[in-house]
Chain A
Amino acid sequence: MILLPFLLAALQGDAAESTYYELETFKTPSGAVLEVGGLDFFSDGRLAVSTRRGQVWIVDGALGDDISKAKFSLFAEGLREGLGLNVVDDQIHVMQRGEVSRLLDEDGDGRCDRIDTISNSWGVSGNYHEFGFGLPQDKQGNFYITLNVSFSNPWWLGKSPVPFRGWCLQIAPNGATRPFAYGLRSPCGVGTNAAGDLFVTDNQGDWVASSPIYHVTEGAFFGHPASLMWTDEYRSTNSEPSYEIPSAAAANRKPPAIWIPYRWSRSTGNLTYDSSEGQFGPFQGQLFVTEMTNGVVLRALMEKVRGEYQGAVVPFRSELGSACRIAFGPDGSLMLGYTNRGWGGRAPADGLARLRWTGKTPLDFHEIHLAQDGFNITLTEPLAKGVTIDPSTVDALQYDYNYWWEYGSPPQHLVPFKAQAVQISEDRKSLRLTFAALTAATCLDVKLPDHLVTEDGRPLLHREFSYTINQLPEGPLCLEQVSKIVSPPPSKENAMEGWLRLTYSDATALWDFEGWRLTNAQPTEGDDSILSLTEGDGALVPVKEGAQFLGKINLGDHKGEVEFQLTRGGSAELWLLGQYAIKLTDNPACGTVAGKQPDPAIRGYYGKGQWNKLTWDIQAARYDQTGNKTRDAVLRSLRINDQPMLENVILHAPDEDAPLGKESALGPVALTGAPHRCAFRGVMVQPGRQSAPQDGWSEVFPEDEFDDWPSTGDAEWELNDDGILIGTGKAGHLFSKRDDYKNFELKGRFKINDGGNSGFYFRVQAEEGWPPGYEAQINSNFPDPQKTGSLYSLDSITTWIVPENAWFDYEIRCVDTDAGTHITIRVNGAEITDFVDTERLHGAGHIALQQHHEGSRIEAKNIMIRPLD
């Protein structure tokens, strides 16, 4: 029963849209791959198309009723990408990565034979990400282009190593070029509205919380700091902007006119306004924005509030290909240019299509205007007589974002609420929504109920809008922004501290399973209810009914993260502690726990065929010494794609069919799911800290004994001012002064570099070469299959559980028992290795550290021991 409304929504989403706006796809010439980066029309109706392959095609007959008659001819090739095209006075102008060019055909043979360089006055360093976009013109004939930042380490961190990366430039008809606005990141779309004002779309990433639409004015700064490099202030001091700390300029950012919610636009293309004078239906003069990941076109309903543009965004047409470019034809058709190579997006990944109005007017939002206490909405058609709207059925979700160096920002400070009143006008074409309180510097997603229809029964085609409230119409001007300056998040390095990667590299070694496969998986073409599996190691997929993928590592309280994907109608379960199910289903109820459903207004789940990140924080049940439960387990938080789905759900008892039959304070992560209809990857956990005895510990390497530590080999050892012991140079070993450690608990914090290798020895003899003793291996990605967590050559861990360059904790217990020498190794609090050496290979000895090879760097601190003799 619960599925029914979602089915309805799906029908409204695509089938219904096509009755109003019909999609037709052009057949492109055989062998040609049209990865469209620019579209515009000649005065005679021919279409010019520039592509990322550096070609320009001319399409004759793109506007005709029968698009199979359209003729494609290759006008130019060999350009360096064409991510913007403008036909000015019937001459093709193309934005290439390295120049703005005018393409001419002097001998009239239909092929370009002259390329005039209008401007190349900006830097290109050679980084792949330095895309350049364009190419609208203002009334004075000035062109506008936008330049991506470069990427460096980490791969998504934007920098501006050469002039004007991250800027919008103005180029006069004579080629004179000047910097115009800055603070951009990956500004893929540049266009104007009907009034001739300039707008730029940007893409989510560092310092960009979601998908913004900027109103670009001269001198405006939009917040990405890389571009500051080329301001007079930074040039005069020869300084580089911080990539982690918000710059002084951040306070004076010009806010986006609209933040498109990430679920609607994950990769925004260009924008253009409806210049069709009614030939495209009721949205004359309005801005249309294209999006390639979901394959949708959205409408941006701008208005000026307190003198600045802001407004709402609403879905327009879905189920398209990866539309990176849109342009209106003189006949009112909307041309769609597809490309997604290297970026990802909905199929088809390339080609040309068009949307034409069928002449039927949908019931849809026409205009949305902000009032002090709500919205005045006009509709394209009147509502049926008798339709009323109960305000409690109007869902609103208020939120804002973080402005930080982290990649994107999940919505913050989520506040769901309902409308207070809804009035329908006499002509039934306007709605007045009233809310108890609206707050400036927030976004508000509003969803109307599903029973709104026209007199002849056509439903409201799109029920949701998202309005970016930079300012309210009245009251004091708000000095805050939707995207708030916050303290920088911890660096990635620290962020991985304490985590264990349970499926990294050797994805299955730490799991017991049958009926699961490590494979590549993608939705089957033509049937998105089932995954197609191909050879690879991209995903874990159940292939047998009822099959379990059960972790070998037992955990107590912990945090965790996993990515999952579902097919249409697919389902899966993530079991925490092997006992409590998080039910993953292909609908907004995705993430149900203990019968508790997430609020459907908080949309975390991206939908079928998409990878979703799920994070959790669970506290295990507590027991007294006699084994009686004293407290239930609690799911402290569940997030899907960073959206808070559930918090503090009491887990009274294990779910039915739990892999672990009996409730327990310890248990593994486990996965189950519908065969071929779900996939997982990237399981990580961060075990909670356990209380351990505090007394009886002593330092193994006390600073004042530095000179007394025996060493072998040619390694260099240094104890720095922070108490960190650092091993570099050639192979060698450093030993504790004492050589009589036998039964003990031993712990230490370690960090190994990329390609490094080391070991934490115990019961070891101070001998040259590889000394005899037990070794807890320290190796994140050095090509020795035994990784961190291994008891070297006795019990191997082949999964790369600890990342390089991240501190981790080793806790080792070594005691002689009747059965042999019993050694347990915990990494970041989780027991990874439990081994009994029946041969009792090594007796009492030193503690030691290994430096394995030149280029390796081991850092160690807090090495403490607690004798158990």
Chain B
Amino acid sequence: MRSHLLLPALFFSCLLPPLAAQEDDPTKDLFLIHCAACHGETGDGKGTTELERPARSFLDGGFSYGNTPEAVLRTLSYGIPGTPMPAFDVALTKDQREALAQYVISLGPPGTIVDPAQTELVVKEETLLARGLLPPIFLAADKQPRGLLIGLPSGTTFEYRTDDVRLLGVRSGRFVDRMDWTGRGGAALKPLGRVIELFGAGKPKTSWYLATIGKKLPPKELGASMRTSFTRGTSGGLGYELIDNGTSAGFVMETVSHVRTPVGSGWRRSFTVRSEIPDKVLRFDGLDMIPPEDLLGAFEGDLQKATDGHTDRLYGTQHWLVRKNPSGFQVTVIHSLDFPNQGGAVPGPKGDVGFWIYPSFENVTVNITRLTCLTWDDATRTAIAKELSK
């Protein structure tokens, strides 16, 4: 009996790296420099940095994106949006990241690499689109018979309904299980990522409005009609027509991408807008308002003066909103790189995550970028600004 008990112990000890080798391990040094502050020196998740939600313990195994070296490498390279886990693609070489991935996996229990289920759609080097019936993204939200998922290689998934083109939320993790590949085919898809962003509690209101220049009429809700969807390497997106009483009010190409900086990672929606109605303003109001009391900071980036043909106005190319949330600091930036030559985008008032498109400009591009950072200081701001200027 005794020998039976001994066998497994021997087996495990063979798998552990020899103690002496660990001490000389340059990968361990990398771990101590870049990871241990949050994840702990032993990888137990008890680092010195105070986090509202503790960083992952590597000792138990199991990673947000799956347990394969490729998956962990992806996390190291892209970061995890919605958490303070930053991207290390600049700070570390690919070899270093690969070694680090192996290292953190080795901290956990030995396990087999699980083949993705037969019905799981896995995003590899290029963005994937998946259409289908979507389950409610949040408690009392509705199922979405015309759902569209845009899954980026970073593990970020944008979840839309295409009937009237509204972004329901953003997820992070594995892509989607095609439950409709079984039975007669009516089942809802099962998005596998964790919801890191939810708009309108899963029931978002209209994103686009039409406002009249110089009149204080309430803005008018616009419909939207899906026209195209696309993938471009590691980003993707969709195009839709804005509809005012059955006629075209404009056309929007919306590109979604992953954003990574050394101080935090996140996502971006980039809107290229063409207005079809000459005397009206298109207003985008597609993100939830941040309550003013939550705002740590709201400030304009490089303010410049420009003439839009009607009045002299100040246009902000960068409109920053910073708030503290359980994961760290959420930084939202509304920015138009086209300014001032092709400008015409105006951010909303304080706390408002929206913008206006003035009619005299064609194909204005406005980006909304949202990152989660562990800290908020000048260095963080500089690092983000550097990414924005790319």
Chain A residues proximal to chain B, CB less than 8 Å: 33, 52-54, 77-81, 96-99, 106, 111, 113-117, 120, 124-131, 341-343
Minimum CB–CB distance from A709 to chain B (whole Å) comes to 46
Q: Which of B81-89, B128-136, B201-209, B277-285 contacts A (4 or more CB under 8 A)?
A: B128-136
Q: List 8 A-B contacts (CB under 8 A).
A: A52-B181, A54-B130, A98-B131, A113-B230, A115-B228, A116-B227, A117-B162, A131-B185
Counting CB contacts under 8 A, is B121 at the interface?
yes
- A115: nearest chain-B partner, CB-CB: B229
Q: Are B185 and A342 neighbours in the complex by a CB distance under 8 Å? A: yes
Minimum CB–CB distance from A782 to chain B (whole Å) comes to 28
Minimum CB–CB distance from A385 to chain B (whole Å) comes to 54
Once bound together, how far apart are the Cα atoms of A131 and B121, in whole Å? Answer: 22
Once bound together, how far apart are the Cα atoms of A548 and B254, in whole Å? Answer: 71
Given A78-B121, A78-B131: A128 and B227 interface contact (C-beta under 8 Å): no
Contact pattern, B 29-46, Cβ under 8 Å of A = 1, otherwise 0: 000000000000000000
Contact pattern, B 141-175, Cβ under 8 Å of A = 1, otherwise 0: 00101100100000000000011000000000000
Q: Are B183 and A342 neighbours in the complex by a CB distance under 8 Å? A: yes
Counting CB contacts under 8 A, is B109 at the interface?
no
Q: Which residues of chain B are near A342, meaning CB under 8 Å?
A: 183-185
Q: Are A115 and B230 neighbours in the complex by a CB distance under 8 Å? A: yes
Given A120-B162, A128-B184: A113 and B145 interface contact (C-beta under 8 Å): no
Partner of A128, one of B131, B186, B230: B186
Once bound together, how far apart are the Cα atoms of A125 and B143, in whole Å? Answer: 9
Q: Other than the known A115-B228, A117-B229, A120-B226, what 6 A-B pairs have Cβ atoms closer than 8 Å?
A: A80-B133, A113-B230, A114-B231, A124-B133, A126-B143, A342-B184
The binding surface of chain A is classed by DSSP as: loop
Measured as residues with beta carbon below 8 angstroms from the partner, the interface class of chain B is 20 to 34
Once bound together, how far apart are the Cα atoms of A97 and B143, in whole Å? Answer: 16
List which B169-194 residues lie within 8 A (CB) of chain A. Answer: 178, 180-188
Most buried by A among B121, B128, B186: B186
- A53: nearest chain-B partner, CB-CB: B181
Shortest 7 CB-CB distances between A and B: which pairs? Answer: A128-B186, A342-B184, A78-B130, A124-B145, A80-B131, A126-B145, A98-B146
Q: Are A341 and B230 neighbours in the complex by a CB distance under 8 Å? A: no
Once bound together, how far apart are the Cα atoms of A128 and B143, in whole Å? Answer: 13
Q: Which residues of chain A are near B94, meaning CB under 8 Å?
A: none
Q: Which residues of chain B are near A79, meaning CB under 8 Å?
A: 131
Counting CB contacts under 8 A, is B232 at the interface?
yes
Q: Are B229 and A129 neighbours in the complex by a CB distance under 8 Å? A: no
Once bound together, how far apart are the Cα atoms of A385 and B182, in whole Å? Answer: 56
Minimum CB–CB distance from A51 to chain B (whole Å) comes to 10
Q: Which residues of chain B are near A127, meaning CB under 8 Å?
A: 186
Minimum CB–CB distance from B347 to chain A (whole Å) comes to 30
Q: Are A129 and B226 neighbours in the complex by a CB distance under 8 Å? A: no
Partner of A341, one of B143, B162, B185, B228: B185
Q: Are B129 and A115 neighbours in the complex by a CB distance under 8 Å? A: yes
Minimum CB–CB distance from A34 to chain B (whole Å) comes to 12
Q: Are B146 and A120 neighbours in the complex by a CB distance under 8 Å? A: yes
- B143: nearest chain-A partner, CB-CB: A126
Once bound together, how far apart are the Cα atoms of A97 and B129, in whole Å? Answer: 15
Q: Are B185 and A81 neighbours in the complex by a CB distance under 8 Å? A: yes
Once bound together, how far apart are the Cα atoms of A126 and B232, in whole Å? Answer: 30
Q: Which residues of chain A are near B229, meaning CB under 8 Å?
A: 114-115, 117
Most buried by A among B132, B143, B183: B132
- B127: nearest chain-A partner, CB-CB: A113
The binding surface of chain B is classed by DSSP as: strand
Q: Are B178 and A53 neighbours in the complex by a CB distance under 8 Å? A: yes
Minimum CB–CB distance from A642 to chain B (whole Å) comes to 25
Once bound together, how far apart are the Cα atoms of A99 and B145, in whole Å? Answer: 12
- B236: nearest chain-A partner, CB-CB: A113
Partner of A120, one of B163, B183, B231: B163
Partner of A99, one of B130, B186, B226: B226
Partner of A52, one of B128, B130, B185, B187: B185
Once bound together, how far apart are the Cα atoms of A113 and B132, in whole Å? Answer: 18
Q: Which residues of chain A are near B184, meaning CB under 8 Å?
A: 128-129, 341-343
Q: Are A126 and B133 neighbours in the complex by a CB distance under 8 Å? A: yes
Once bound together, how far apart are the Cα atoms of A131 and B185, in whole Å? Answer: 9
Minimum CB–CB distance from B151 to chain A (whole Å) comes to 8
Q: Which residues of chain B are near A130, meaning CB under 8 Å?
A: 145, 186
Q: Which residues of chain B are near A98, meaning CB under 8 Å?
A: 131, 145-146, 162
Q: Are A129 and B228 neighbours in the complex by a CB distance under 8 Å? A: no
- A162: nearest chain-B partner, CB-CB: B145
Minimum CB–CB distance from B60 to chain A (whole Å) comes to 32
Partner of B128, one of A33, A78, A116, A117: A78
Q: Are B131 and A129 neighbours in the complex by a CB distance under 8 Å? A: no
Q: Which residues of chain B are near A111, meaning CB under 8 Å?
A: 126
Q: Which residues of chain A are near B126, meaning CB under 8 Å?
A: 111
Q: Are A80 and B132 neighbours in the complex by a CB distance under 8 Å? A: yes
Q: Are B183 and A78 neighbours in the complex by a CB distance under 8 Å? A: no
Q: Which residues of chain B are near A131, meaning CB under 8 Å?
A: 185
Q: Which residues of chain A are near B180, meaning CB under 8 Å?
A: 80-81
Minimum CB–CB distance from A59 to chain B (whole Å) comes to 21
Q: Are B185 and A117 neighbours in the complex by a CB distance under 8 Å? A: no
Once bound together, how far apart are the Cα atoms of A117 and B227, in whole Å? Answer: 5
Partner of B228, one of A54, A77, A116, A343: A116
Q: Which residues of chain A are near B178, meaning CB under 8 Å?
A: 53-54
Q: Are A129 and B145 neighbours in the complex by a CB distance under 8 Å? A: no
Once bound together, how far apart are the Cα atoms of A53 and B185, in whole Å? Answer: 9
Q: Are A341 and B163 neighbours in the complex by a CB distance under 8 Å? A: no
Minimum CB–CB distance from B180 to chain A (whole Å) comes to 8
Q: Which residues of chain A are near B163, meaning CB under 8 Å?
A: 120
Q: Which residues of chain B are near A116, meaning CB under 8 Å?
A: 227-228
Q: Are B185 and A125 neighbours in the complex by a CB distance under 8 Å? A: no
Q: Which residues of chain A are near B121, meaning CB under 8 Å?
A: 77-78
- A80: nearest chain-B partner, CB-CB: B131
Q: Which residues of chain B are near A125, meaning CB under 8 Å?
A: 145
Once bound together, how far apart are the Cα atoms of A113 and B255, in whole Å? Answer: 13
Minimum CB–CB distance from B233 to chain A (whole Å) comes to 9
Minimum CB–CB distance from B12 to chain A (whole Å) comes to 34
Once bound together, how far apart are the Cα atoms of A80 and B149, in whole Å? Answer: 11
- A51: nearest chain-B partner, CB-CB: B181
Q: Which residues of chain A are near B188, meaning CB under 8 Å?
A: 126
Minimum CB–CB distance from B287 to chain A (whole Å) comes to 24
Once bound together, how far apart are the Cα atoms of A53 and B120, in whole Å? Answer: 12
Once bound together, how far apart are the Cα atoms of A127 and B183, in whole Å? Answer: 13
Minimum CB–CB distance from B304 to chain A (whole Å) comes to 35
Once bound together, how far apart are the Cα atoms of A115 and B128, in whole Å? Answer: 12
Minimum CB–CB distance from B277 to chain A (whole Å) comes to 21
Q: Which residues of chain B are near A78, meaning CB under 8 Å?
A: 121, 128-131, 149
Once bound together, how far apart are the Cα atoms of A78 and B191, in whole Å? Answer: 13
Q: Are B130 and A128 neighbours in the complex by a CB distance under 8 Å? A: no
Once bound together, how far apart are the Cα atoms of A181 and B377, in whole Å? Answer: 65
Once bound together, how far apart are the Cα atoms of A508 and B186, in whole Å? Answer: 35
Minimum CB–CB distance from B86 to chain A (whole Å) comes to 30
Most buried by B among A54, A79, A80, A127: A80
Q: Are B185 and A128 neighbours in the complex by a CB distance under 8 Å? A: yes
- B187: nearest chain-A partner, CB-CB: A128
- A33: nearest chain-B partner, CB-CB: B181
List which B271-313 residues lie within 8 A (CB) of chain A. Answer: none
Q: Which residues of chain A are near B186, meaning CB under 8 Å?
A: 126-130
Q: Which residues of chain A are near B132, meaning CB under 8 Å?
A: 54, 80
Minimum CB–CB distance from B241 to chain A (whole Å) comes to 10
Q: Are B183 and A341 neighbours in the complex by a CB distance under 8 Å? A: yes
Contact pattern, B 229-252, Cβ under 8 Å of A = 1, otherwise 0: 111100000000000000000000
Once bound together, how far apart are the Cα atoms of A53 and B182, in whole Å? Answer: 9
Q: Are A117 and B226 neighbours in the complex by a CB distance under 8 Å? A: yes
Q: Which residues of chain B are near A128, meaning CB under 8 Å?
A: 183-187
Minimum CB–CB distance from A171 to chain B (whole Å) comes to 14
- B189: nearest chain-A partner, CB-CB: A80
- A125: nearest chain-B partner, CB-CB: B145
Minimum CB–CB distance from B224 to chain A (whole Å) comes to 12
Once bound together, how far apart are the Cα atoms of A99 and B178, in whole Å? Answer: 18
- B134: nearest chain-A partner, CB-CB: A126
Q: Which residues of chain A are near B129, meaning CB under 8 Å?
A: 78, 115
